[in-house]
Every structure is written in C-alpha cells, then in structure tokens.
Amino acid sequence: MLVFGFQGFDSGTMNVTSLYASETATASGNSLKKSDSHRGSRIEGLAAIAAVEPILKPEKESDRSKIERKLRSLIRKPLPDDPPSEFPQQADQGRSLNTPVAADQATLAIKDSAAGMAKSAASMSPVAPPISSGSSISTISPRVPASSAIAGTAASPPGSSMGAAGSGGSSSGGGRSMQNLMRQLPGLQQLLTAQPATPGPPSELIATPAPPLGPPQAGLPPAPLNWPAYHVLNRLAYGGTLNQLNTVSHLTAQEAAVWAVRYMKEQLELDPTKPWPTNLHSTEPLPAPIQLNDSALSQRLAADRADWRTEEGLPDVLSPSLSELQDYDLIRKVYSRRQLREKMVYFWDNHFNTNYRTHSKGQYELAENEAFRANAFGKFLDLLMASAKSSAMMIYLNTDVNRKENPNENYARELQELHTLGVDVNGNPNGYTQADIVEAAKAFTGWTTLDVARPGFRFIAGRHSPGAKQFLGQTVGGNGGGPGEGEQVLAIASRHPATAAHLAKKLCVYFISDRPSASLLNEVAAVFTDSGGDIKKVLIAIFTSQDFNNVANYRGLVKTPLEFVVSLHRNLGVWSPIDPFRNRLVRMGQGLYEKAPPTGYKEAADEWLNTDTLFNEVSFAYEATIPGFGSTIRYGSDTSGGSARLWLKSLNLTTEADVLGFLLNLTFDRQVSLTEYQTYLTTLRSAGGTFNLDNSNVETPIDRALATMLATPRYKYQ
Amino acid sequence: METCSQCRAEQEDLSRRTFLKRALGVAGATLVLNFFPAESLRRSASAATNAGKTLVVVFQRGGNDGLNTIVPYTDPQYYVVRPSALIGAGNIGIPPPGTGDGAGINLPGTGFAMHPSIQPFLDLYNNNSLSIVTQAGFVGSTQSHFTDQDIIERGIFQATDGWLNRYLQAVGTAGAPAIRAAGMGSDLADSLRGNVVVPAVNDLTTFSFARLNSAKAPLESNLRALYGQDPASTSTNSYTRLVHTLGPDMLNRVAAIEAIGPAVPQNGAIYPSTTYGRQLRDVAHIIRSGLGLEVATVDIGGWDTHDDQGGGGGATLAQGARLAELSGGIRAFYNDLGPLMSNVVLLTCTEFGRTVRQNASGGTDHGKGSVWFVLGGGVKGGLYHGTAGFPSSLVDANLDSGRYIRPTVEFRDLFSDVLVKHFGVNAAELALVFPGHTHVPVGVFV
C-alpha cells in the first residue's frame, strides 16, 4: 500500500483510480491537510517521491531493508526555522538540498508502510490517463506550459521532453516495470506535490526520422539551409535530443528560423509569442519567467538521490560522494529540458570553481551548485554573494581561516583576478592592485563556515579587522564592521566596468566564438552594466546578436569533453547507466567538482585538444558502439536491446541513404564532406552483398560506421 | 652555427604568429595556429648533443615553501619567524639536526639542513648527483598561481607557447623518435604547448586500442582517412586543423605505447602509489624502451600550504607529506634508471616560494624565491644560493618586501644551463627559446 504521509489518506488499500480522482477534485485548493507554512512547498512531495522512488530501482528481496533504511534517512523532524523550499529562489546558499519536512504522522506512516509498498505497487492498475495528454492538465494548473505545439506544423514543440524515437523514451529508462507504471500513472506524480498540480511535460510528437541523404558534392560542405535550428541546439543545449534533431531535419529554412527563435525564448523563460524584450539597457525587470516543466528530470534525480550516503551520525543530512555528485550533475545535463539553465549552471560552477577534495563534503558542493542553479539567470551579484558565502568556496580559498591577526589573501586575490575584474592577456590586473587585495582580505575577516555538517555562512565578530578599508578607490565600512564590509567589497567589485568586460568575454567565448568581435563584447558588457548584472538580459543580448546568428559561427566551436559526452547521450537517445560515462569524463580531464586550480576548466579549443583527451573521446565513441570494447552503453530503444541494427529497423529505415540520412542528422546536422560520406557508406557495405537491415550481418558494419562517426573530428564541432 | 634559412623563416613566422595570437579580436586573429607534426621541423646537422638525452621537468603546483625544504637552522631568526614544531602545535619550524622528532637532516659545512621528509634525497646529495638551488624564481613574480606558473612555463612574459616546445622547435633530433616529448597527465603542461604537437599521456596501461580486436584495423583505417582530409575542405573552423593533426598523431602514439608494454621498475625501485609516482614510473619506462623520449613533464600538486603546513616527523602535515612523495618518486626514478640516469636530467620547479614568517593558520602565504632541484647526469651537486648568497639573517630588512625570500637565481638562467649543458644547445638556439634573455650561467652543471 502506498502512503505518502499526507493526512486524509486512508492507510488501507488504495487504488490508482481513487488517487487520481481525488487529485482532479482538488484542483484549485488542496484537500490534503497541510500546515500553512508548507503550502506551496514541494518538499513533502519530494520526500514522498523519494519515498516512492526507491521502488523504482530494480527490486530484489534483499533490497527491501535497504530501501526502508533509505526512506527513514530521508525523513527528519522539522526544525522551527526550516525553509520550505528545496530550491531557494534567492541566493540563499546556506541551505542543504535535503530539507524535507514531513509531519510526524507521516513519518510513522511511511515507516509502517514501507514494507507494504511493493505489494501495493503491484496492485495498482494503470487506469489513469497519461498526464501528458495536455488539455485536462492545462485547466488545473495556473501555469501554462511553455511548450505548446507549433501551430500548423508537424514538428514537435521545441523544448519538449526528450524521448527516443522508439518506444523506450529515455525519460523513464526502459525495462523496469515500476518505471513503466509510473510513466502510465503520472497522476501519482501530481498527488505527491503539495502545490496545485503542475502538468507533466506536454505530450511530445514523435517526429519521423530525418529524410534519406545521398552523397554530397565534393568540396567544403555548406551549412544546411535549416542551420539556425541545429545551431541553437548545439549552443543553448548540450546538443539536440534524438527527437529534436529528427524534428529539425524536416524544417525548411524559414521554419527553422522561427523554430530557433522560439526555442531560444523558451530556454530563456520568455513567452515565445511575444517579441524580444527591448529593455536590456535598463534595470527594469523582465517579465516573470515561464519555466519549462522538468518533472521527469525530478523523478530521475530523486531516484538517484535515494542511494546517497548521509553525514555520519546525521541521517537527515545527505552527503553525496564525489562520484555521486558527478552522476547527479550528469543526469541533469543529459535529461533536463531546461538546457540553457544547465549550461549556465556549469558556467557559474566553473567560473566560481571550487574543489570537492579540499573539504570532502558533498553537501557543500551541492548547496553551492543549487544556489547557482537558482540564480543562473539572475543577478551577477547574487551569484557572487552565493559563491563567496558558500562553505565550499570559503574552505577552498581559506576565507574560513581569514582573521584580523593574520588576514588570508587567497580569496581576496582570486575574487578580483578570476571572479570579477580579471587580468589582461599578459596577466596584468584589470584595475586592481595588491593593496586592493590586502584591503579586501581585511574586509572578509570573520567570515567563516556555519558548521562541519551543514553548509552555510556565519560571521565571527571577534575575528573581524576593525577600521575602514580602501577598496578600488572607495571606502568600505569602518563603523562597526560586520559581514557587510565583505558584502560591500563584493558589490563594488561586481559593478566595476572590468567585471562587465570580463564576464562578457567569457560568455561570448562560451556561446559564440573563440574570438568574439569587439563590437559584440562592448554591447554585451554594456548590457551587463546597464542592467545591473542581469544575466538573462546579457544572454538575450548574446543570442540576439548578429555574431550569434551569423552562419560563419555555425559549427565554429569545439566541444569540451563534458559537452562531448553529454551530447552523445542526447543525440543518440542513450538509455543506459551513467557510470561509465562519468569515469570516462574524469579520464578526459574534466571531472566535475574536482578541478584543483581556481581558474576552473578552460573553454578554448586549444586548451582541450591534446592526445590524451582525444584518445579518451575516441575510446568513449568506441565504448558506445563496439561490443566487447567495454561498452555498457545502449542506444535506441529498449525493444531493440541496444542493437543498432534493430534500432534502425524499428524506425522503418531500409536503404543506406535512409540510414545515413538518419545517423548523419544526429551527429553532424547532415553536413558532411564527400570523403566522409563515402567512408561511412563503404563501412556500411563492408559485409558485402546488398545492404539489408533484416540481415544480421550488417550489425557489425553499422556499429563500425557509427563508431567512426562519433570518433571523427566533425563530431567535436559545436 | 648558422641556422638554415628555412628554419629562420619558420622562426620568424613563429614569433609573428605568437604576437598575433596575443592580439584580441584583431584581423590577425583569423590566423590559424599552424600545427605541424614534430617530424617536419627536424633540421639537419645541429651541433646539439641531445641524442639519447632526456630532460624531465617536475612542476610542484601551488608554490612549495623552499625555506622549510632546505632549512637555515643556524640562523636564530629562522626560529623567530617559524617557531619549532617541537614546542607547539601549528608551528612549522623544522628543529635543528639531532634535537628530536622531525629534526632536519644536516648538510655538513653548509649551515643548512634538509626537511626530514626529503630523506630519499640525502644519498643523491652526498654522491653529488643532486644540485639544490635555494632561491630560484624571477624578478617580477606576482604571487599569483595562475600568472607565475604561466611565466615560468612559457619562459618569457609575452610568449603564448611553452619553453620546452620552443626547444623542440629550435633543436632537431636525429632519427624519428616515436615519442620525442610527452606531458604526463590528462592536461598537457603549458611548457609543452606550442607548434610542435606533443601528446598528453595520462595512463600508460590504458593507452591502447587493443581491445577492439578485429575492429581495430578497419576503424583505424577510417579514422586516418577522415582525419587525413585537408581541414580547409571540411570546415571553416580554424581549430579543425588542430583536430585533424592530433588524430593521426594520437593513433601513432598509441601504437608506440602499445608496443612497449607495461612498466616494470628495475633495481628494486619502489615508486609512491600515487598518480605522480605512476607517472614518473611510466617516464622511466618510456626512456628505457628506447622510444627516443627527449622531454617529459610531470606534475605534483598540493603545495599551496596556506594552513596546516606542518613540520617533520610527528608534526608532518601537508608539506611533509608532499615532500616525501616528491623525493620518494624521484629517488625511485633514479634507482629505476640506474646507469641510464647519466643521460637524464630531472629538474623541479615551483611557481613561487612562501612567506618567511608563518601565518596564524599554521601555514604560509605566497612568496617569491624557492628551492629548485636539479638531478642527474652532469650535475655538480651541492647547494647554490646565487651570487648574492643566502641572507645571513632572515630579519625583514634582508627579505624581499620584508616578507619573501628574494629570488636571486633567475629561472631562465637555470633552464638555460640545462639546455646548454645537457642538450648542447648553442647561443642562437637558446635565443629562440628565451628571446631577449641574456644567459647568466648558474653553474649547477660540471
């Protein structure tokens, strides 16, 4: 029997129909009794999802007690000042991810019912209509999903949830009965949330595979006519999903242009039916964000968290290991519909680089990362403040031991050298001096971490250096001190024009080109300054710029290893365990959360292109395709069992041109040279005879053709 | 020796390209970094004596505290700025030789002692295989990890490529070494970056495509065909050229490594079981295997001891542990190579030393001059303080800015000593590696 810890539910037998029925009945209010402080909170929902999710893991008898233990570890007694929101909307960095609060009754109920969960799961019958059918849900939720079908085209909505072309949609993984059940009963999902029901992602039209492709002309292959749609997927996302790429392949040039703009607006949380905002050079706020529904991702994340270890002696504090953190982050990168947000989260996590190995507390990195996620499109100063006051950063750069008797300059230096004003090409500071470093260090004295187990900030007045400080030509504090002096330093640094230029450059290199034009940099820096560091406005300026929309910059970047591995998963609709992926990424030299120097990972291609990285990328391409090369990756659908041949067959492809049109679309936007095309064709034909997907002897040729595609230079272009 | 005109033209091209790459957003920025495979830059008949020689550069990332590595224990002021670890927790002062746990190891006749954790170096010092420069660094050191590492690895302030890469360009090599240079690790050290393509090699044991079995040949053939395309015919992205060059280069390196099998240390050498230890072991293996390895870099991190630097013996914390690993690895490398060591020089660098006075966190902050080691064939041995000598007392007045060990041995001079003495580089070639620098020999070589 499933009990979600809400009062009002009979702890006797329940069936799905009644659950769903009561859900629709409680559309506007909430018949589930909640205390006021939890209204609008998703915490119980998440705790309850977490309570349910463990079942979604492969169910073995021996796992039962493990699941029960994990369930208990996820519940804790409410603390009086617990924040209600798991995802703080302000730079409220000192909160750990795991702040579920459940009523005591719920605690007992869940404990008692844990044993009964498996049994009741089996008794549930899939009678509820899938939530993703759209219309009924939109009447419930006050929030209209941002992605609605493009009128008049057969294309699936941009930003729609990722699904494989086959049946085994990667959003739910395949082959596990409970997951299938959850997919058919998304109503459960709704019940678990305390707030008015948010619809699941809108139903996604499964696009037909890309059209067949014959050999191109000799010479430099031109950009495809519909390049803008591919381009936004390459840059605002970690590559297109299989379904998105299929969709785009059928668009005309004009449709692609429209599609691209719509995609960008959705990723920027703007209303796609409205024109671009024009108030970039002011501090006037943008319209309220329209966030894409990421509930499918939330389910995956909850399942992933279920295995996490906890802080020693504190079962309420999740303390993921480095590998767990990395896997969690990679799940987000691969499966989030809010791709641009994830790209920005990585940007900020890297810009404000910290290293797990300096503290070994997963909860610190997690809290910091969540703060970046909450503020990814927000104000730069909020991000800076979240970083400065994070336990991860305070330990990494010794803020936590910075005191008046012996100020520690480490953070003060990197704050200016790396996070804000920056240095020029020769390594010279862009407007700060050693004196500014010394003074800033004094301003930060007394700042330290909250405690060992829980990330957070506190201020120790006795450590604070008294007196006024001179920082970048301004006087800071001196009248009592307090953490406000450090905050002033951050504010002053964030407003310095060199900071705007520095961030503008980094963002333009990240999204547009390794050599952004001076006019672009000036404009973007001006938006940064004029908007008061409004990152969303800066991004709008970037994505509406001529530079971004210039075909000369199409496929002009090189993927970092992270982008390489994530895009491979998205492009091919991979649906296998993440683990081998994370290990390989570490070997490529881009292990997340563990870059030692504060400069973080570089963006420029020549920083990444070395033999070892290339060896690992090629090895990864082989692991994804060649049986026996250590591959545990499967792509396509669960019905094809990972076999490429059966996958292609299930898509009703038949000829070589069909197969190449489909695969070259996923990997290269259908832009290949004649030599490349001929190499793939020859490989497909290497078994001899007529190419026929019914014949198992084309299995190996297909594997090798795909292996070659993924290992080739062109797959690194972005 | 007169450089051939073609090479001179290449070198002029090099400096123009380097200059243009520096310029942000200028027309020259469209210039492509032209990466040639190593082979095409080989020149004939250099008088350099680099045949069969190897240089290994170990970079201690983070700024090693030289003052506690080679300790001026006879200066009472040392114990004022660094109270002895024997008399209080958090103190980092290394006690004088013979005074107790964690005491320094005396270097007779010098007034200095070794940090006890570099005990593996003692025999090497005593048999004159190890020269120790106590105040190496450079004028203009900024105390920024980022900037100072860049300056040391690039050799000159305005360069964008590494000094070791410029050496590889300036001086050719006979024959066709399968791996003339390698940067150990997944991230190629800046000192090896430049026009010559140098592989980063992270893990020798997995650097292989053997598991592909029957797929290996056809896949390699495909990759060579695709990477072998003229980059200009495939894309307008200028970095494609680098990708296209790296592909076949990578395949060649993998084949070479596959051929030499796993490393088997000789002479009972036992390396630290860390990444650093493994990488030194792999370098020794590649040297012994006769692949023609001439230049290699290895990194060891963890030197940025702002807190919990610790002392020696029972007071060992961060620095002592790192010194044990550093010296244990180098000693194993020396043992492993045995007689081959006479053709090998191993040089350590660090971006800066640390503040003379310890801080309130049991550590030290960024400084300037530090200890650099030079080990191997042709080395004189002994301590080198530079022409100005070591400060007789560590009072503030004798320190750089009242805080730091003054860098009195310019690192470029030390690097030049190595190139001239070990590789037989001439003045013209040296000027290609360190343009604008006048070499003042340090004298660490015979």
What is the Cα–Cα distance from A498 to A509, expressed in whole angstroms? 16
Give me B6's structure tokens: 């073609």
Give me B60's structure tokens: 């201690």
pLDDT at B342: 96
Give me A179's structure tokens: 């997951």
Q: Among A560, A422, A251, which residue's Cα sits nearest to residue B186? A: A560
Inter-chain residue contact B234 with A423, CB threshold 8 Å: no
For residue A21, pLDDT over 90 is answered with no
Q: Nearest CA to CA, how far is A668 from chain B (Å)?
A: 12
Contact B222, B251 (CB under 8 A): no
Burial (CB count within 10 angstroms: exposed 0-12, middle 13-18, buried 19+), residue A488: middle
For residue A31, pLDDT over 90 is answered with no
Inter-chain residue contact A558 with B307, CB threshold 8 Å: no
ipTM comes to 0.70
A418 in reach of chain B (CB within 8 A): yes
Inter-chain residue contact B218 with A609, CB threshold 8 Å: no
Helix (H, G, I), strand (E, B) or coil at A539: helix
Instruction: Establish how many alpha carbons lie within 13 A of residue A135's alpha carbon, considering only the half-sphere containing its beta carbon.
Output: 0
Q: Nearest CA to CA, how far is B267 from chain A (Å)?
A: 30
Cβ neighbors of A385 (< 8 A, separation 6 or more) are A91, A93, A487, A490
Q: What is the pLDDT of residues A247-271, one digit of tens each?
A: 999 999 999 999 999 999 999 999 9
For residue B189, pLDDT over 80 is answered with yes
Give me A518's structure tokens: 């001076």
For residue A70, pLDDT over 70 is answered with no
Q: Nearest CA to CA, how far is A292 from chain B (Å)?
A: 33
Q: Nearest CA to CA, how far is B232 from chain A (Å)?
A: 7
pLDDT band of residue A630 (cuts 50, 70, 90) is low
pLDDT band of residue A577 (cuts 50, 70, 90) is low
Inter-chain residue contact A401 with B242, CB threshold 8 Å: no
CA distances (Å), origin A612, targets A615, B158, B248, B416:
5, 27, 13, 29
Inter-chain residue contact A675 with B360, CB threshold 8 Å: no
For residue B180, pLDDT over 80 is answered with yes
pLDDT at A632: 56
CB contacts of A449 in chain B (<8 Å) are none
For residues A606, A608, A609 and A610, what is the CA-based torsion angle, rounded to 10 degrees?
Answer: 120
Q: Nearest CA to CA, how far is A516 from chain B (Å)?
A: 7
Inter-chain residue contact B202 with A557, CB threshold 8 Å: no
Instruction: Establish how many alpha carbons lie within 13 A of residue A27's alpha carbon, considering only the half-sphere containing its beta carbon.
Output: 10
The chain B residue lying nearest A700, using CA atoms, is B215
Of A597, A605, A676, the CB nearest to B242: A605
pLDDT at A408: 85
Q: Mean pLDDT lowest for which of A196-205, B165-174, B262-271?
A: A196-205
What is the Cα–Cα distance from A248 to A208, expressed in whole angstroms? 10
A56 in reach of chain B (CB within 8 A): no
Q: What is the mean pLDDT of residues A594-619?
A: 83
Q: What is the mean pLDDT of chain A?
A: 76
Helix (H, G, I), strand (E, B) or coil at A451: coil
Inter-chain residue contact B219 with A704, CB threshold 8 Å: yes
What amino acid occupies position A463? R
Q: What is the DSSP string of A112-176?
A: HHHHHHHHHHHH----SPPGGG-HHHHHH-SSPPS--PPTT--PPPTTPPP--SSSS-TTT-SS-
Inter-chain residue contact B219 with A599, CB threshold 8 Å: no
Helix A339-351 and helix A535-543: axis angle, to 10°? Answer: 120
pLDDT at A477: 87
Inter-chain residue contact A708 with B247, CB threshold 8 Å: no
CB contacts of A609 in chain B (<8 Å) are 239, 242-243, 246
A587 in reach of chain B (CB within 8 A): yes
Radius of gyration of chain A from its Cα atoms, rounded to whole angstroms: 26
Inter-chain residue contact A605 with B142, CB threshold 8 Å: no
Inter-chain residue contact B237 with A557, CB threshold 8 Å: yes
Q: What is the mean pLDDT of residues A206-229?
A: 94
What is the Cα–Cα distance from B79 to B110, expressed in whole angstroms? 18
pLDDT at A588: 82
pLDDT band of residue A574 (cuts 50, 70, 90) is confident
A contact residues 256-295, partner B, Cβ 8 Å cutoff: none
Helix (H, G, I), strand (E, B) or coil at B333: helix
Give me A28's structure tokens: 């506007």
Helix (H, G, I), strand (E, B) or coil at B361: coil
Q: What is the mean pLDDT of residues A565-588?
A: 78
pLDDT at B54: 97
For residue A514, pLDDT over 60 is answered with yes
Q: Mean pLDDT lowest for which of A132-136, A196-200, A218-222, B323-327?
A: A132-136
Helix A339-351 and helix A253-267: axis angle, to 10°? Answer: 50
Q: What is the mean pLDDT of residues B368-385?
A: 96
Helix (H, G, I), strand (E, B) or coil at B257: helix
For residue B433, pLDDT over 60 is answered with yes
Q: What percent of chain B has pLDDT over 90?
A: 72
Supply the DSSP symbol for A275. Answer: P
Cβ atoms within 10 Å, residue A192: 26
pLDDT at A676: 96
Of A517, A616, A713, the CB nearest to B25: A517
Which position has the higher pLDDT, B328 or A200?
A: B328
Which position has the higher pLDDT, A387 or B44?
A: A387
Inter-chain residue contact B61 with A597, CB threshold 8 Å: yes
For residue A594, pLDDT over 80 is answered with yes
Q: Mean pLDDT lowest for which of A31-40, A376-385, A422-431, B166-175?
A: A31-40
The chain B residue lying nearest A615, using CA atoms, is B250
Give me B275's structure tokens: 């990444």
CB contacts of B140 in chain A (<8 Å) are none
Q: What is the pLDDT of residues B43-68, one digit of tens each?
A: 444 578 898 999 999 999 999 999 99
pLDDT band of residue A637 (cuts 50, 70, 90) is low
What is the Cα–Cα distance from A363 to A450, expressed in whole angstroms? 13
Q: What is the pLDDT of residues A157-188, one digit of tens each?
A: 343 333 333 333 333 333 344 444 444 444 44
Which position has the higher pLDDT, B174 or A340?
A: A340
Give me A529's structure tokens: 């300054």
A439 in reach of chain B (CB within 8 A): no
Which position has the higher pLDDT, A1 or B416?
A: B416
pLDDT at A631: 58
Q: Mean pLDDT lowest for which of A197-201, A367-371, A489-493?
A: A197-201
Q: Classify the C-alpha dihedral A19-A22-A24-A30 as positive or negative.
A: negative
Q: Where are the beta strands (DSSP E) in A397-498?
A: 447-449, 457-459, 469-471, 474-476
Mutating which of B34, B187, B278, B352 best tests the A interface, going by the most A Cβ atoms within 10 A?
B187
Inter-chain residue contact B186 with A587, CB threshold 8 Å: yes
What amino acid occupies position A134? G
pLDDT at A511: 97
pLDDT at A352: 96
Q: Where are the beta strands (DSSP E) in A257-370?
A: 310-311, 314-318
Inter-chain residue contact B243 with A417, CB threshold 8 Å: no
For residue A91, pLDDT over 80 is answered with no
What is the Cα–Cα distance from B356 to B370, expressed in whole angstroms? 11
Inter-chain residue contact A403 with B360, CB threshold 8 Å: yes
What is the Cα–Cα distance from A37 to A42, expressed in whole angstroms? 12
What is the Cα–Cα distance from B441 to B432, expressed in whole angstroms? 17
Contact A457, B181 (CB under 8 A): no
Contact A293, A189 (CB under 8 A): no
pLDDT at A480: 66
Q: Nearest CA to CA, how far is A224 from chain B (Å)?
A: 13
pLDDT at A77: 36
Q: Nearest CA to CA, how far is A235 from chain B (Å)?
A: 15
Contact B433, B167 (CB under 8 A): yes
pLDDT at A34: 29
Q: What is the mean pLDDT of residues B397-407?
A: 96
A599 in reach of chain B (CB within 8 A): yes
Q: What is the mean pLDDT of residues A459-468?
A: 93
Cβ contacts from A onto B, under 8 A = 188
pLDDT at B397: 96
Q: What is the pLDDT of residues A414-445, one digit of tens each?
A: 999 999 999 988 778 999 999 999 999 999 99
For residue B152, pLDDT over 70 is answered with yes
**Burial A402-426, CB ≥16 within 10 A → b, else e:** bbbebbbbbbbbbbbbbbbbbbeee
Which position has the higher pLDDT, B306 or A633?
A: B306
CB contacts of A612 in chain B (<8 Å) are 185-186, 188, 199-202, 207
For residue A636, pLDDT over 70 is answered with no
pLDDT at A203: 60
pLDDT band of residue B406 (cuts 50, 70, 90) is very high
Q: Among A56, A303, A299, A337, which residue's Cα sits nearest to residue A204? A: A337
